Amino acid sequence: MPNDQLELPSYLHHTDEVKRRLSEIRERPTVMSLSGITRRFESAEGSVTALDTIDFEVRSREFISVIGPSGCGKSTLIRLVAGLDTPTAGEIWIDNQPVTGPGADRGMVFQGYTLFPWLSVKRNVMFGLRMKGISRSAAEKKALEWLDLVGLADFADHYPAQLSGGMKQRVAIARALANEPRILLMDEPFGALDAQTRCSMQSHLLKIWEAVDVTILFITHDLEEAIYLSDRIVVLGAHPGRVMEIIEVPVARARHPDQFLSGHFLATKKRLESLIYDPETHSKRGSERMSPVAA
Amino acid sequence: MSATPSTATPPKSAIVRKRSRAPRFFVVRAPLPKGASSWALALAFAMPLLVWAALSYLPFLWHPLVLIGDPGDTKHPGQYAYLATGQRVEREVFERRNAELAAAGKRLAQGERVNPVFLPPPHAVARAFYTGFTTPPLRPGEYWLHESLLQSCQVIFWGFFWSALIGIPLGISCGTFALCSRLVEPFIDFVRYMPAPVFGALAVAVLGLGDEPKITIIFIGTFFQMVLVVANTTRSVDPALLHAAQTLGASNRQLLMHVVIPAALPALYRDVRILIGWAWTYLVVAELIGEKSGLSSFLYQQQRYMNFDNVYAGIAIIGIIGLCTDQFLAMVGRLLFPWESGNNRLSRALKSFTRLFASQKRMPASVTTVL
């Protein structure tokens, strides 16, 4: 063994603090469950199975990430949960209610911000509340509270076009949370941001998540982002999209960027790399190869 | 030992040439230098005017005809003996006649080089522009120029108004609901290839000689295009916005009213601005069917009298009205859609204006809470 290799703990090894937290999460009620979710796309060239019998459950206030190589059906999965697409087989349950279409109980944050350009920042955040029929003044008051939480109260009267990418995404998060969804779906929300902004947005998201009673389903292809943010990581394999492993992240909370270099963090990252980049040989020496981290 | 301090004076080739500070006008997709933009705008209008003035006032440029001042000895027979005072003849004809006369030793014809009657000089058109409005109509039943103008504007307005009133909602429905699109668009696609003027005779037969058939022609000319253009613009609304609204709990009706329409509105407004130009195109045809009326009948009449200065003045009026309408609509557009152009001064003024009203509206509520 080369002597400059770090001696890493197993990613399966949990400290007592982590063990306690994970078992506490397991006792919480289930917010969302996927059972046998399959999605096939039919085309002239034949049918492509994007997702193949996906099963997992998400507990209340859990932060769960879905990670996988491109083409593994991550985005398809989150669109199914959001109700923007319907599965070929299987069912999605939110609080023991089957998903039949989009609804306010599943807020979503998209990679492309998708703020309404004709509405001011404040009106964007008010949108969901107004759709519910909440009065303008009540919605406005709530919107300002949420904008305060994401640190954009001073920009309430700006138009989205006047904001930077990171600010837009914070508005999008506030807009989704203002609706008080049971679960917040985030589809590679920081994928379009530069590295520094992404980093600060991750910390910001963790702070928001700690302050708010919300469960988060987070799609990403950034391994470190998944480890840094999540309680559990669902690793999908491609062609067809299948759950390869569900990793319970052995990194203690509250999370801090310093932990990026901790043994448990690196061990988890190594495991994810071997699952994603070397799915065939991940039990052999191939797992030690340094793979380029997906940007 | 002749080590000269070569580092102190670098070779000439190494001296970096100072970039020229002169403004550069031909940089790919770069904005024009300050000031040049308004100069270019002024030139855009000045250049054609200068060409026109040069052609009119410089006698050695073009001027292919000769205006006969004195036909010379008209009694001398010849192939070109028909020359008469005030006639415009080709220069070649004039020269041949003079050759004939010179050979016979008769008095030569006199004349000056002029342009054809269809190219009046700028000052004549400028004068016509003014006199057009001050000259009473030739016959008692006819209209003054400003009356014709008003009539034209009314025809355009009503034609376009009905077309937009029906076409825009129909287009939005087609761009939103697959059923509407399937029901309406194939037939409209079929009708829109029929030129609007072919309905002229039919419109007169059905609606009589008044303004109604003319309004109908404008309507037919713009309506079918409008439905298709509006439908396409509505369809091009970013579906991600619809998805976002759906995950925020918007119902089907709310999606249409609160997302599709506001998202498409700025582009729809631009479409309408372009379509108004189409309406003016059809106006010229519409006004010549049935009873001739409006600006087109003025143009038609003046052209028959060979008053080309009036014709140009009339055409220029249409251009000016079109340009002014478009600029006005562009300004209103900036007011209506401030998020498109950034937070400009106009929209801020409007915002404070609406806030004024909003605060007045809110006043009673705050009074009641105090009470």
Averaged pLDDT of chain B: 85
Residue A50, CA atoms < 13 Å, CB-side half-sphere:
20
- Picking from A160, A162, A176, the nearest residue to B343 by CB comes out as A162
- Average pLDDT of B315-340? 90
Look at residue A291 in the predicted model and tell me its pLDDT: 43
Look at residue A295 in the predicted model and tell me its pLDDT: 36
pLDDT tens track for B215-226: 999 999 999 999
% of chain A with per-residue pLDDT over 70? 93
Q: A102 or B17, which is more confident?
A: A102
Q: Check A160 against B339: CB less than 8 A apart.
A: yes
Look at residue A199 in the predicted model and tell me its pLDDT: 92
Q: Position of tokens 């998201």?
A: A205
Sign of the alpha-carbon torsion through B256, B259, B262, B268:
negative
Out of 3.40.720.10, 3.40.50.300, 3.40.50.1100, 3.30.450.370, select the CATH number for domain A1-104+214-295.
3.40.50.300
pLDDT tens track for A240-276: 888 999 999 999 998 998 999 999 999 999 999 999 8
Q: Check A127 against B262: CB less than 8 A apart.
A: no
pLDDT tens track for B110-130: 999 999 988 999 999 999 888
Chain B residue numbers with beta carbons less than 8 Å from the beta carbon of A83 are: 246-247
pLDDT band at B371 (very low <50, low <70, confident <90, very high): very low
CB pairs under 8 A between A and B: 83
> Among A9-13, A217-221, B242-246, B262-266, whose mean pLDDT is lowest?
A9-13
Chain B residue numbers with beta carbons less than 8 Å from the beta carbon of A82 are: 243, 246-247
% of chain B with per-residue pLDDT over 70? 86
Chain B residue numbers with beta carbons less than 8 Å from the beta carbon of A185 are: 247
Q: A181 or B210, which is more confident?
A: A181
10 Å Cβ neighbour count for B94?
22
Total H helices, total E strands in chain A: 8, 10
- Average pLDDT of B51-78? 90
- Picking from B241, B258, B338, the nearest residue to A114 by CB comes out as B241
Question: What whole-number distance in Å separates Cα of residue A219 and Cα of residue A191?
Answer: 10
Q: How distant is the Cα of A50 from the closest Cα of chain B, in angstroms? A: 20
Look at residue B148 in the predicted model and tell me its pLDDT: 87
Amino acid, single-letter form, for residue B319: G
Question: What whole-number distance in Å separates Cα of residue B302 and Cα of residue B186?
Answer: 43
- Picking from A84, A172, A176, the nearest residue to B246 by CB comes out as A84
Angle at A182 between CA A176 and CA A185, to 5 degrees: 50
10 Å Cβ neighbour count for B61?
12
Nearest CA among B234, B235, B298, B240 for reference residue B266: B234
CB-based contacts of A295, cutoff 8 Å, min separation 6:
A222
Phi, psi (rounded to 5 degrees) for B125? -70, -40
CB-based contacts of B244, cutoff 8 Å, min separation 6:
A108, A110, A114, A115, A116, A172
Q: How distant is the Cα of A161 from the closest Cα of chain B, in angstroms? A: 7
Decide if B125 contacts B132 (C-beta within 8 A). no
Smallest CA–CA distance from A78 into chain B, residue: B247
B245 Cβ under 8 Å from any chain A Cβ: yes
pLDDT tens track for A43-90: 888 888 999 999 999 999 999 999 988 878 899 999 999 999 999 999
Look at residue B338 in the predicted model and tell me its pLDDT: 87
Decide if A219 contacts A187 (C-beta within 8 A). yes
Phi, psi (rounded to 5 degrees) for B326? -65, -45
Chain A residue numbers with beta carbons less than 8 Å from the beta carbon of B369 are: none
Look at residue A21 in the predicted model and tell me its pLDDT: 93
- Picking from A102, A132, A160, the nearest residue to B246 by CB comes out as A102
Domains of chain B: residue spans and CATH: 63-116 (no CATH), 131-347 (1.10.3720.10)
Q: Residue A233: pLDDT above 90? A: yes
Write out the two tokens for B88.
């415009």
Pairing label, strands A46-59, B110-114:
unpaired
- Average pLDDT of B235-243? 96
Q: Chain B, 264-303: which have a CB under 8 Å from a chain A CB?
A: 265-266
3-state secondary structure chain B: CCCCCCCCCCCHHHCCCCCCCCCCCCCCCCCCCCCHHHHHHHHHHHHHHHHHHHHHHCCCCCCCEEEEEECCCCCCCCCCCCCCCCCEEEHHHHHHHHHHHHHHCCCCCEEEEECCCCCCCHHHHHHHHHHHHHCCCCCCCCCCHHHHHHHHHHHHHHHHHHHHHHHHHHHHHHHHCHHHHHHHHHHHHHHCCCCHHHHHHHHHHHHCCCCHHHHHHHHHHHHHHHHHHHHHHHHCCCHHHHHHHHHCCCCHHHHHHHHHHHHHHHHHHHHHHHHHHHHHHHHHHHCCCCCCCHHHHHHHHHHHCCCHHHHHHHHHHHHHHHHHHHHHHHHHHHHHCHHHHCCCHHHHHHHHHHHHHHHHHHHHHHHHHHC
Question: What whole-number distance in Å separates Cα of residue A255 and Cα of residue A205?
Answer: 11
Q: B348 or B42, which is more confident?
A: B42
Pick from A131, A146, A185 the residue to mutate for testing the B interface (most B CBs within 10 Å). A131
DSSP state of A62: -
DSSP string, A94-117: ETTEE--S--TTEEEE-TT----T
B364 Cβ under 8 Å from any chain A Cβ: no
Look at residue B161 in the predicted model and tell me its pLDDT: 96
- Picking from B243, B249, B343, the nearest residue to A103 by CB comes out as B249
Q: How distant is the Cα of B337 from the closest Cα of chain A, in angstroms? A: 7
B251 Cβ under 8 Å from any chain A Cβ: yes
Smallest CA–CA distance from B336 into chain A, residue: A118
Q: Residue B7: pLDDT above 60? A: no
- Cross-strand partners of B88: B67
Q: How distant is the Cα of B165 from the closest Cα of chain A, in angstroms? A: 23
- Average pLDDT of A222-232? 95
Buried/exposed A145-180: b ≥16 CB within 10 Å, e otherwise: ebbebbebeebbebbbeebeebbbbbbbbbbbbbbb
Question: What whole-number distance in Å separates Cα of residue B187 and Cα of residue B231?
Answer: 14
Look at residue B14 in the predicted model and tell me its pLDDT: 55
Q: Check B249 against A104: CB less than 8 A apart.
A: yes
Q: Residue A31: pLDDT above 90? A: yes
Nearest CA among B111, B110, B114 for reference residue B58: B114
Chain A residue numbers with beta carbons less than 8 Å from the beta carbon of B245 are: 116, 127, 131
Q: Residue A286: pLDDT above 60? A: no
- Average pLDDT of B291-310? 86
Write out the two tokens for A253.
């909370």
Write out the two tokens for B172.
């939005």
Write out the two tokens for B173.
């429905």
Look at residue B368 in the predicted model and tell me its pLDDT: 34
Q: Position of tokens 């007045």?
A: B360
Decide if B307 contacts B128 (C-beta within 8 A). yes
Q: Residue B236: pLDDT above 90? A: yes
Question: What whole-number distance in Å separates Cα of residue B197 and Cα of residue B218?
Answer: 9
Question: What whole-number distance in Å separates Cα of residue A40 and Cα of residue A19?
Answer: 38
Chain A residue numbers with beta carbons less than 8 Å from the beta carbon of B243 are: 82, 84, 102, 108, 110, 114
- Cross-strand partners of A186: A109, A218
Decide if B275 contacts B222 (C-beta within 8 A). yes
pLDDT band at B75 (very low <50, low <70, confident <90, very high): confident
In chain A, where are the structural domains located? 1-104+214-295
Look at residue A3 in the predicted model and tell me its pLDDT: 61
